[in-house]
Structures are given as structure tokens and as C-alpha cells.
Amino acid sequence: MPPLAIAVDFGGTKVEAALVEDAGVLVPGSRFRAPTGRVGAEQVAASVVSVVRDAAEFAGGRVIAGVGIGTAGPIGAGGTASPLNVPSWREYPMRELVASTVAPIVGDVPVVLRIDGEAIAIAEHWVGAARGASSLLGMVVSTGIGGGLMLGGRTVPGRSGNAGHIGHIGVPGATRRCACGMLGCVEAVASGPNTVAWAREQGWTGETGEQLALACADGEELALAAVRRSADAVGRAIAGATAVLDLEVVAIGGGFSQVVPDYVDLVAAPIAESDFPFVRSVSVVRSGLSGDGPLIGAAGFVLRPELVG
């Protein structure tokens, strides 16, 4: 049987691990999840170890080609991670932690760590909504906002591995300070927690993104205004990125991108304001892989090395 990859998706609220086949599909029953977030470094590490160990053991002796990790960034040299929304991890040796967890179970296999947006880009190009596109941006709209680039059919990690970090470019007129230290970043305006925070400042009484989604479904105008504000910021960031990179497709995944059924359409609306035909022509699509995309893309770091820049 063809070898499998262990895929890891690390974000601001949870970490997941699963086994992925060489066709780009998850092995049924192999997906495991644990919380991350604003807790101590040891608790976060314990969550990572738990899900990675469970996925490795689920392989049941099948050959493992390697481990692919897609993590919220920024990332650093040597496989370290400093996820902005996990403050207890700064330059944390994540690749080393995962490698030491899997080695006793599946042997000494390659472990590749990249930012989560790059995983989205590979997944969408490989088996998703941007299949075959050579110039694309994969985006995550969730607890944070991340991105990863593919140009000329290969990912573009950049000098430090953090290229595509679209969540930390500025939105015109925005003044909220971002956790990265800058004013008016897309993430500070449009992420799930920051959208909820803005809605509460306007008088909305809910507390979570899930409650915001329910309020939108009920037609509450304040909740809908908050989501439109989020989507507008994301759309303007995409227009700017397209002006620089001449993108063909932008594929959007992540939990908050599903807060309303037409979120992607709302994102596309401000892009249509551009007078540049090449900007207006960018295709903004919802991830074709639902919540599986980050894991499939992380596996692609190992199973589809020809796509990795």
C-alpha cells in the first residue's frame, strides 16, 4: 500500500492531526483534536503530543512517508513557531516536539513545518477549489488570518518562511492595534475574535463567533454589519495582494469564513471596485475542502514535494 503522511494543523484555538493518503484524502477515523489557545506552554505542547501520538498509533504499522505541519505563524529558523494567538509559545521548537513524538512509533521520518496558509494553498491547488491554478493565495480566516502563496505552480515561502502573511497588511482607515504591534492590520479588523469584539463595542450582547453566526442567521442587523465589515477588510487586502502579485485565484478557508453562507461573496464585492481588469478578474472562492484543507495541505508538504518551494 502507498505510504501515508501524518498531517498536523496548529491554530489559535485547536491543534489537529490526521493520516492522509497519497490521493489527498483523510483516512477515516484518524483525525484527532485538542485545544490550544491562551494557556501555558506545557499545556499547548501536551495537546500537540496527544493528537500526534494518536494519529501515529492509528497508522497501525503502515509506512509513514513523513509528517507535515501547517501552523499559524510567524515561524522561525529550525522549525520554531511563534503563533500570534498562542502567547505562551514564542520561538517554540515545534518541529522538534513533533519529531520526538513520532519517532518511537513510526521511526525517524522527515518532519516539515510551514505556515498554515501555505498548506491551504497546496491543498486547494492539489485537490480543491483552485485545482491546477498556478498563481494563487490560500487564506485562513479564523482566530487569526493567515495566508500562503503559490506562484508558478510552487509555493513561495519567502526568506523566512512567512511569505503570504496577508493578515498583517494594513486596511485603509482601520485604527485597531493588532497583536503584532501594528495599527489597522486585516487580522485586527476581520478575524473572528476581533469581529466579535467590534460587534460588542457597538452594543451586541453575544460573546462568540458561533453566537454571531446564529445572530446573522436570525437577521440581526448589528451582527450582519460586523460580518460585512470583516469581509470588506479581507476583500480590500486581496485586491492589494492581487495588484502586487497578479493572482489568479484566492481560496478562503477557516472557521470564521463560514460565519454566513455568502461570506466569500461579501469578500469579492470590494474587489469589483478596482479599475484594473487584472485585479477584478481574480477569482475568490470558498475552500473546496471544508475543514479538511489545512490537514490535506500539511500532508502535501511530504506527499507532493514538487509543489513545495
* pLDDT tens digit sequence for 104-140: 999 999 999 999 989 999 999 999 999 989 899 999 8
Instruction: Give the bridge partners for 67, in sequence order.
Output: 6, 111
Residue 158 and residue 65 share a domain: no
The whole-number pLDDT of residue 270 equals 96
**What is the pLDDT, as a whole number, of residue 291?**
84
- The CATH number that applies at residue 257 is 3.30.420.40
pLDDT, residue 174, reads 84
CB-based contacts of 266, cutoff 8 Å, min separation 6: 227, 228, 231, 232, 235, 260
Any domain includes 122: no
**Residues 300, 265: contact at Cβ < 8 Å?**
no
Report d(CA 253, CA 273) in Å as an integer. Answer: 23
Q: Is the domain of 10 the same as that of 144?
A: no
Q: Are residues 135 and 282 in the same domain?
A: yes
- The verdict on pTM exceeding 0.95 is no
Residues 6+ apart with CB under 8 A from 221: none
Q: How many domains would you assign to the chain?
A: 2
Residues 175 and 271 in one domain: yes
Amino acid 85: pLDDT: 87
- Answer yes or no: do 14 and 94 share one domain: yes
Q: pLDDT at position 92, please?
A: 97
Looking at the structure, tell me whether residues 279 and 301 fall in a common domain. Answer: no
* pLDDT value for 290: 77
Same domain (yes/no): 81, 184: no
Q: Are residues 200 and 282 in the same domain?
A: yes
Domain encompassing residue 96: 4-117+292-307
Q: What is the pLDDT of residue 54?
A: 98
Q: What is the pLDDT of residue 283?
A: 96
Give me the residues of the chain with pLDDT under 50, please. none
